[in-house]
Amino acid sequence: MSNPTDFFLDSAKPSLLVVDDEPDFAELVEAVAEEVGYDVTVVTDPMRFPLAYRRDIDVIVLDLSMPDLDGIELIRFLAENRGSSALILVSGFDNHILEAARLLAHGHKLPVIAALQKPVNLAQLKEILQTSSRKQAAPLSQSRDRPTEDDLREALANSQFQAYYQPKVSLIDHHVTGFEALARWSHPDKGMIPPGIFIPIAEECGLIDELTSTILSHAFHECGRWARADMAAKVAVNMSARVLTDLSLPERLLDLSRENGIAPASVVIELTEGAVAERLTTLLDILTRIRMKGFMLSIDDFGTGYSSLSRIHSLPFNELKIDQSFVREAPTSHEARSIVETTVDLGRKLGMRLVAEGIENQECWDLLESLGSNEAQGYFIAKPMPAEAVLDWRLDWDKRHV
Ligand code: C2E
Ligand code: MG
Ligand code: MG
């Protein structure tokens, strides 16, 4: 067993932290993990977890039921610390609790690679750890490579940020309704870096405004190009809470749409539920004026934040995106399906368009279609693609589905 402080030594091995109050079980996990090449730390007193934790630990094996500090509280801790660790949840409780914890972790955007009921099958655990350690070897999956503020500034100065576009299609007539612009960092050495790596850093160091402006100009420009090619489609852009403090944002959006010759109604601004939980007065001012100018407003990742229903109702949203963690699990999890059903019902009653994100297979598509979601987005339709690929993809889709 290595000491918790060993984590501060840079090691080429993938790292694993076991948190379980049962020393016998923790030792078994340690033995299996070491066998497949992990550098393992064991914590049997959950109160010591914050001391042993580092954001760049590759895998955390977490027992849900422990005295003093339970696994659910540790999931909250992990979410607040925005680490990059993958989670393996274990529990002696029934499947319902394990499933609920898994959904909770998904909702916090924590990657869960397995949820195992005790007694754990060690051969299965070994296989999961082996697969995961191969993934951890991929570049930039670890926050040891976490970019710094200077890296981001340099990338902005060198125009290394661009948008990829992922289609949204109608579940009623299968027409393409629009594309969501998703930020990508095209790094000269490291390749394409996903937003989960750099958006939190841009938010922390105040570069998110500049980054959002870059993505907005790309997205509005592309939307104008689609319209000129007679393939008009909406474009959706993501915005963080931090950007929603600028009272002149609605006017900036209007100027941009005029410059690119697009109607405000073809632009959707997506905000996460978390953004809605903050500063209501400023938000109401900005969002109401965005809607009054004719732009669409969408609430992203619905179901993962903590905003109250009345607050959402009091804000002028006209689209609701059901979070992909619920959509993906809906065909197999009773709990996830209930959440999706309730959300569709709620959206309908509030007169909002419903978009289901995370449609990964036919089963998911069929289920969401039958539940009454208006639109679908997900790998089953297409992965996010570079701007140059959009029109060809669209022609192909229309040929096959419309
Ligand atoms: P989001 O807005 O909820 O975007 C959907 C994310 O889900 C995208 O990840 C997309 O690639 C992924 N996705 C779509 N369909 C599927 C599917 O079927 N299966 C799976 N497993 N994943 C799917 P991406 O591009 O990595 O973006 C992650 C998040 O980063 C976005 O989540 C959004 O919150 C944020 N983001 C992206 N671009 C920007 C931006 O310009 N500004 C801000 N503030 N946030 C951004
Ligand atoms: Mg979005
Ligand atoms: Mg989303």
Number of domains in the chain: 2
Q: Compute the distance from residue 180 Cα to the ligand 2 centre, in Å.
A: 7
Pocket-testing residue among 238, 323, 368, ligand 1, by greatest number of atoms within 8 A of Cβ: 238
Residues in Cβ contact with 282 at an 8 Å cutoff, skipping those fewer than 6 apart: 244, 245, 247
Please work out, in degrees rounded to the nearest 5, the angle formed at the alpha carbon of residue 101 by the alpha carbons of 116 and 75: 105
Contact 276 CB / ligand 1 (< 6 Å): no
Q: Compute the distance from residue 48 Cα to the ligand 2 centre, in Å.
A: 36
| pLDDT (0 to 100) of residue 140 | 41
Same domain, 216 and 305: yes
Whether the full predicted model's pTM is greater than 0.85, yes or no, is: no
Contact 384 CB / ligand 1 (< 6 Å): yes
| pLDDT (0 to 100) of residue 132 | 81
Q: Which two tokens stand for residue 206?
A: 């105040």
Same domain, 111 and 215: no
Cα 112–chain centre separation: 13
Q: 82: alpha, beta or left, given left = phi > 0 and alpha = psi -120 to 50? A: left
Question: Could you say which of 84, 113, 138 is where a domain stops?
Answer: 138
Q: 87: alpha, beta or left, given left = phi > 0 and alpha = psi -120 to 50? A: beta
Same domain, 97 and 160: no
List phi, psi (to 5°) of 268. -115, 130
Q: Which domain holds residue 105?
A: 4-138
Side chain identity, residue 56: D
Contact 212 CB / ligand 1 (< 6 Å): yes
Same domain, 194 and 162: yes
What is the CB-side half-sphere exposure of residue 402 using CA atoms within 13 A? 12
Same domain, 78 and 187: no
Question: Could you say which of 138, 161, 183 is where a domain stops?
Answer: 138
**Shortest-distance atom of ligand 1 to CA 208:** 44
Contact 316 CB / ligand 1 (< 6 Å): no
Contact (CB, 8 A) for 159 and 227: no
| pLDDT (0 to 100) of residue 3 | 36
| pLDDT (0 to 100) of residue 77 | 86
Same domain, 258 and 210: yes
Alpha helix positions (H), 144-240: 149-157, 195-204, 208-228
CATH for 92: 3.40.50.2300
pLDDT values of the chain reduced to their tens digit, one per residue, 402 residues? 333 333 333 447 899 999 998 999 999 999 999 999 999 999 998 888 888 888 889 999 999 887 766 778 888 888 888 777 899 999 887 777 788 788 888 777 788 889 898 888 888 999 999 888 766 544 444 445 678 999 999 999 999 999 999 999 999 999 999 999 999 999 998 889 999 899 989 988 899 999 999 999 999 999 999 999 999 999 999 998 788 888 899 999 999 999 999 999 999 999 987 676 667 778 888 999 999 999 999 999 887 765 667 777 778 899 999 999 899 999 998 888 999 999 999 999 889 999 999 999 999 999 999 999 999 999 999 999 999 999 999 999 999 998
Q: Which two tokens stand for residue 359?
A: 């449609």
Contact 207 CB / ligand 1 (< 6 Å): no
Ligand minimally distant from the alpha carbon of residue 323 = 3
| pLDDT (0 to 100) of residue 71 | 78
Q: Look at ligand 1, atom 27, and give the residue with the nearest C-alpha.
A: 195
Contact 238 CB / ligand 1 (< 6 Å): yes
**Shortest-distance atom of ligand 1 to CA 360:** 18
List phi, psi (to 5°) of 237. -125, 140
The sheet with strand 39-43 has its strands ordered as: 39-43, 15-19, 59-63, 86-91, 112-117
| pLDDT (0 to 100) of residue 141 | 40
Other Cβ atoms less than 10 A from the Cβ of 162: the count is: 17
Alpha-carbon distance of 257 to 249, in angstroms, equals: 12
End-to-end CA distance of the chain: 60
Same domain, 128 and 161: no
| pLDDT (0 to 100) of residue 157 | 96
Same domain, 194 and 341: yes
CATH for 336: 3.20.20.450
Same domain, 55 and 163: no
